Amino acid sequence: MSDTDEQPPSWRYAHTDTLDGALQRGRGIGALMALRDPAAPEAVYACIRRDHRWDQQVDDRADYLARLVRDLDLDLTPIADQLYEPVDPDVDPDNTFQLGADVLTALGRGGDQSAVAVLRAYLAEGTCWSSVLSRIESQWPADDWDDLDAVCVARLSEQDEDEFAFSCPLALARWAPRQPRLAGILRRHEQRGPHARSAIPDRSSDELVTVLADPDVPRHRKLTALRELERLGKPEPRLLDLIDAGLDLPLLARSLRRLGAAAVDRARGWTPDLGAQRYWFGNLVLARHGTAADLPRLLEAWNWLRDRPDDWCGFDRLADGFARFGTAAAEAMPGLTGVWRWTPHSYERAAVLRAMLAVDPVRAQRALGPALLDCEVGTREVAAAAAARDRQPGVVVPGR
């Protein structure tokens, strides 16, 4: 669930060791549990009806849930019905329409002709048909949707033509030669061309740092200056002084990475009493460039992040630091396994698994089998590479 989404205060993820909790988090163990639990069908439908991702921009669920629908041979009717409920993109806190459409698209991509039929019908009847077309045009063979040009053109309103050109470029290009109206839309779209960058003269590093240091400059102008500084592609040591002076902007962590080891000494002095943001910046520097002497600080940072209310973002960067230190970071293993089991922010599990394998390869082996069924492709790739490298005969996915 994205941390920007509103949710009822009483709602909580189910316990991670239960079927519901494992499925909500997209864990591979949840997929294994579902194969033998009679309650699995309803649990899977519930996860498709309510999007449980922590961050919908980066966490994956569609392929994971589609695979469960296929493996459990579930009826697609309840998922199809979700698409036809009243949909307002601005008032869909459970992301019911989008996730249902994504699951059906994934099923169709895998060759499920029933799912193909459902979405083809929706293109002819559903309210948000162009949103569905934008999904399937890039994921399905053209033969599964190419013959619906007349149907879609008849449904396309004049006010939605520009949006259609941006959201369905493949369909527009493919259909334009045989649909005069689409040919006209394509010509207008091509004539506009890409949006040119505003003609703003390039500013020097000195000018940009001056803007960032000026307390009277509005935040949005400082953010623009930091973006320009980032585009210059050069390390800027003066950022360290600006951070000490209280500068706090979203892109600062990325800019600090350019400083590399030169920022380590300063980062070691950024403690929690100087503010959460500065402390976090310091941890990111130490995870990437610190030495084994910084391990106690990184372990402390891991616990600090874990104990922050409703904050599950950033474990992946600390995990990369532990992975860099290998077995010297053995004390990190309990924290890594805890986040591996509990986090709903599934995007971070690939980094956590890499760190577990580096820190304690023996204990990490037990995670590999379930990891092969994780919702995140990155996690599955890490597990598959580790299993192949070590040729572990015990890493078997039941039923595969």
* Interval 126-182: pLDDT, tens: 999 999 999 999 999 999 999 999 999 999 999 999 999 999 999 999 999 999 999
pLDDT above 90 for 363: yes
Q: What is the pLDDT of residue 400?
A: 37
C-alpha–C-alpha distance, residues 121 and 277, integer Å: 50
Poorest-pLDDT segment among 140-149, 193-202, 225-234: 193-202
Reported confidence tier of residue 250, pLDDT bands at 50, 70, 90 = confident
Q: Would you say the pTM of this structure is higher than 0.85?
A: yes
pLDDT in tens, 57-82: 999 999 999 999 999 999 999 999 99
Tokens for 150, please give them: 């007349």
The amino acid sitting at 93 is P
Q: Whose CA is closest to 19, among 33, 2, 9, 32?
A: 33
Q: Where is pLDDT greater, at 233 or 60?
A: 60
**66-76: b or e for each residue (b if 16 or more CB lie within 10 Å)?**
bbbbebbebeb
| Structure tokens belonging to residue 344 | 């709903």
Give the pLDDT score at 201: 62
pLDDT tens, position by position, 293-321: 999 999 999 999 999 877 789 999 999 99
Structure tokens at 18: 């239960």
Q: What is the C-alpha to C-alpha distance for residues 311 and 194, in angstroms, rounded to an integer?
A: 38
Instruction: Map residue 321 onto helix, strand or coil.
Output: helix
Task: Look at residues 67, 13, 61, 60 and name the one whose alpha carbon lies nearest to residue 40.
Answer: 67
- With the C-alpha atoms ordered 281, 283, 286, 287, is the resulting torsion angle positive or negative? negative
Which range has the top average pLDDT, 64-68, 86-90, 216-220?
64-68
Q: Is the pLDDT score of 398 beyond 60?
A: no
- Joined together, the tokens standing for residue 324 give 């860099």
Residue 278 is encoded by which pair of tokens?
């500065």
Q: How confident is the model at residue 194 (pLDDT cuts 50, 70, 90)?
A: low
53: closest CA among 42, 64, 69, 68? 64
DSSP label at residue 85: S
pLDDT tens for 7-32 read 444 678 999 999 999 999 999 999 99
* Per-residue confidence (pLDDT) for residue 86, from 0 to 100: 72
CA gap 204, 121 in Å, rounded: 56
Q: Which residues, 6+ apart, have CB-to-CB distance to 394 below 8 Å?
A: 365, 369
Structure tokens at 335: 């924290």
Going from the C-alpha of 16 to that of each of 22, 33, 268, 294, the distances in angstroms are 5, 12, 35, 31
CA neighbours within 13 Å on the CB side: how many for 190? Answer: 10
Interior CA angle at 218 toward 216 and 221, to 5°?
120
C-alpha to C-alpha distance for 163 and 261, rounded to whole angstroms: 46
Can you give the pLDDT at residue 191?
83
Rounded to the nearest 10°, the torsion over CA 98, 100, 102, 104 is: -150
